């Protein structure tokens, strides 16, 4: 699962989200003494969109440079661009307040609302505090990107996050895994104090906008009240929790077989360093320990790609080919010239996979240090989903150039990735034959170790931040609260003693980079709902896990129609256009993995009886 750093304030899919900074809007009343008219509001929003677009493009370019060339100078350039965004958007927000209370045309009213809610990092009105907040935001993101673990001190070889992630994915030595986990988690305490100030200043900005805190502001971005959105998240989690619990029980039993009672308990949480991922958010890297004896699909996509000397560019070409098979246009030439596909050897970059929309038209890019493996093959489909969404809504006015909600943006690419089935691989001539249905349990398990295992983590990251932003969790309990949530939802435990000298939440990019995370949970629900609907459109009648929409232009037309809506309508309307349903529904993920859940429960009973 990847992050899209969309760079535009409007896009919401980026870190600090750019200037997220923002508007004072939301504060009703003040400044509305003038006799503003509907015509004034219409002229205002037309002019505001032009200024808004110009400032976001400028910041997008500065953000791209700063993420690709991490230096003191690029930090200053990015911070200055953010400052200009803050000032411009704040002016627009303050001016928009004079239209509060007017009976505006729906289009104008929606645009003003989106203007007020477009940003994820509200800055205080005080210029010194605003400057301080933007500098903290930039420095935390840069510190994360440049973070390294030096096992032998400054004089020895230092390991980047990429190096450590490779160890986490491939090593089966619990002590080596523990050392890598602890090593990376030494990076975040450097900016723990900065985060405390960050929360204080961002909350002040949110309150000036009329919200209780920054968390409440984020939750207001879903065409429903903040508390109603929190309840919706919990409803969806409860739908999928039984499936996660079955996967967890099986995984714990298999890890216990591998590492023994001294490392893995028979009941309770799984130690976090044993699950193949630095944050235990996806478990696919330990599939070799989990796979069923009769579930081998008969191919290894990573080895196939490597044996064919597939390079990074060809990996991206595969992803592009899926979209063109549905009737989408080819990626623009600038995409191939300006994207980053491989990690430079001469400088630090933020390697986290991300999709960018630089000019709100056709200058789309990805930034990704591509590895030739199955995981990145899928990730590329995901990132290009963002780019094709961006190009689809590009004709819309700037405040509508966004996904229906931010979960939609993350879900589209993953919906495509669900069609990366054996049948699809056969059509690409990557494999010669489609495995028998008896291999489906192995394929479903492999996917569940990424998709299902992610669900509680996708939920808890913002749970933690909502508590921090509201004051329910104070600075003295950051780490305690983080691990309470990880044990409650993921049922995992830290590899070693943790204290408030640590800042384990900050070891996750999205916390350091101030990217809201609920979108990823929603995306994991929506992608299966989308997949089920598109397979239905294709007339497919078999098991959902065997459906691929590759090459179906009728399905492509339905997909393009929804993407082109952007954020011009509330998200239930976009969902209905795609699926015929106006409510997010996790039954699709339950349906998709139903054969696996039955198998998991049977296996757990068998292993428990031994």
Residue numbers annotated as active site: 383, 510
Tokens 């919906």 belong to which residue? 415
Task: State which H helix or E strand residue 357 sits in.
Answer: strand 354-357
Chain centroid to Cα 204, Å, comes to 26
- Annotate 512-561 with DSSP letters as a single string: HTT---HHHHHHHHHHHHHHHHHHHHTT--S-GGG---TT-HHHHHHHHH
Q: Give the Cα separation of 140 and 511 in Å (integer).
A: 9
Q: How many CA atoms lie within 13 A of 202 on its CB side?
A: 31
Q: Give the Cα separation of 339 and 67 in Å (integer).
A: 12
Structure tokens at 271: 């130690």
Phi and psi at residue 270, to the nearest 5° = -90, 135
Burial of 330 (0-12, 13-18, 19+ CB in 10 A): exposed
Q: Give the Cα separation of 405 and 382 in Å (integer).
A: 16
Bridge-based pairing of strands 364-367 and 492-493 is unpaired
Do 122 and 208 contact (CB within 8 A), yes or no? yes
Chain centroid to Cα 35, Å, comes to 43
Structure tokens at 388: 């094709």
Q: Give the Cα separation of 328 and 164 in Å (integer).
A: 38
What angle (nearest 5°) sits at the alpha carbon of residue 113, between those of residues 109 and 115? 115
- Bin 71: left if φ > 0, else alpha if -120 < ψ < 50, else beta: beta
Phi and psi at residue 149, to the nearest 5° = -115, 125
What angle (nearest 5°) sits at the alpha carbon of residue 478, between those of residues 452 and 515? 55
Residues forming a β-bridge with 356 = 365
Q: Give the Cα separation of 221 and 208 in Å (integer).
A: 17
């Amino acid at each position: 699962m990847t992050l899209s750093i969309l760079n535009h304030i409007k896009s919401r899919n980026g870190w600090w989200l750019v200037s997220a900074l923002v508007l004072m809007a939301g504060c009703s009343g003040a400044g509305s003494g003038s006799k503003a008219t509907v015509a004034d509001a219409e002229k205002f929003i037309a002019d505001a969109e032009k200024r808004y677009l110009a400032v976001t493009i400028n910041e997008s370019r500065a953000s791209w440079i700063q993420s690709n060339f991490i230096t003191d100078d690029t930090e200053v350039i990015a911070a200055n661009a953010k400052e200009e965004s803050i000032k411009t958007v704040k002016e627009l927000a303050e001016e928009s307040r004079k239209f509060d209370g007017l009976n505006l045309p729906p289009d104008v009213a929606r645009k003003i609302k989106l203007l007020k809610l477009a940003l994820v990092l509200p800055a205080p009105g005080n210029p010194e505090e605003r400057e301080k907040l933007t500098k903290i935001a930039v420095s935390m993101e840069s510190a994360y990107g440049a973070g390294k673990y030096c096992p032998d001190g400054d004089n020895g070889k230092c390991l980047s996050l990429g190096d450590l992630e490779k160890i986490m994915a491939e090593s089966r030595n619990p002590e080596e895994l523990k050392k890598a986990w602890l090593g990376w988690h030494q990076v975040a305490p450097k900016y723990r104090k900065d985060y405390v100030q960050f929360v204080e200043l961002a909350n002040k900005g949110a309150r000036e906008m009329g919200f209780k805190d920054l968390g409440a502001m984020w939750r207001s971005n879903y065409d429903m009240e903040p508390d109603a959105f929190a309840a919706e998240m919990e409803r969806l989690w409860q739908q999928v929790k039984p499936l996660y619990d079955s996967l967890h029980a099986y995984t714990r039993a298999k890890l216990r077989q591998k590492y023994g009672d001294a490392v893995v308990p028979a009941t309770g949480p799984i130690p976090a360093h044993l699950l193949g991922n630095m944050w235990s958010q996806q478990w696919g890297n330990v599939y070799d320990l989990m796979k069923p004896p009769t579930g081998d699909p008969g191919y290894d996509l990573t080895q196939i790609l490597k044996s064919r000397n597939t390079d990074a560019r060809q990996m991206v070409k595969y992803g592009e080919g899926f979209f063109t098979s549905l009737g989408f246009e080819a990626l623009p030439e600038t995409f191939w010239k300006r994207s980053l596909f491989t990690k430079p050897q001469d400088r630090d970059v933020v390697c986290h996979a991300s999709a960018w929309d630089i000019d709100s038209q056709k200058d789309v890019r990805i930034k990704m240090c591509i590895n030739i493996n199955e995981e990145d093959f899928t990730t590329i489909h995901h990132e290009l989903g963002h780019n094709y969404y961006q190009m689809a809504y590009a004709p819309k006015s700037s405040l509508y150039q966004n996904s229906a909600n931010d979960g939609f943006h993350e879900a589209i690419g993953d919906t495509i990735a669900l069609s990366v089935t054996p049948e699809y691989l056969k059509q690409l001539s990557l494999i010669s034959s489609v495995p028998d249905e008896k291999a489906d349990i192995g394929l479903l398990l492999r996917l569940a170790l990424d998709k299902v295992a992610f669900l509680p983590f996708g939920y808890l990251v913002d749970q933690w931040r909502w508590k921090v932003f509201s004051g329910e969790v104070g600075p003295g309990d950051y780490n305690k609260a983080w691990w309470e949530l990880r044990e409650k939802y993921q049922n995992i435990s830290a590899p070693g003693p943790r204290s408030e000298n640590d800042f384990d939440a900050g070891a996750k990019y999205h916390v350091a980079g101030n990217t809201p995370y609920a979108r990823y949970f929603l995306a994991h629900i929506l992608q299966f709902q989308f997949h089920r609907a598109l397979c239905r459109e294709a007339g497919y009648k078999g098991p959902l896990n065997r459906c691929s929409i590759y090459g179906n232009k009728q399905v492509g037309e339905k997909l393009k129609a929804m993407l082109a809506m952007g954020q011009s309508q509330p998200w239930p309307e976009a969902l209905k256009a795609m699926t015929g349903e106006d409510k997010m529904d996790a039954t699709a993920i339950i349906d998709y993995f139903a054969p696996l859940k039955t198998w998991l429960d049977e296996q757990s009973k068998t292993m428990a009886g031994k």
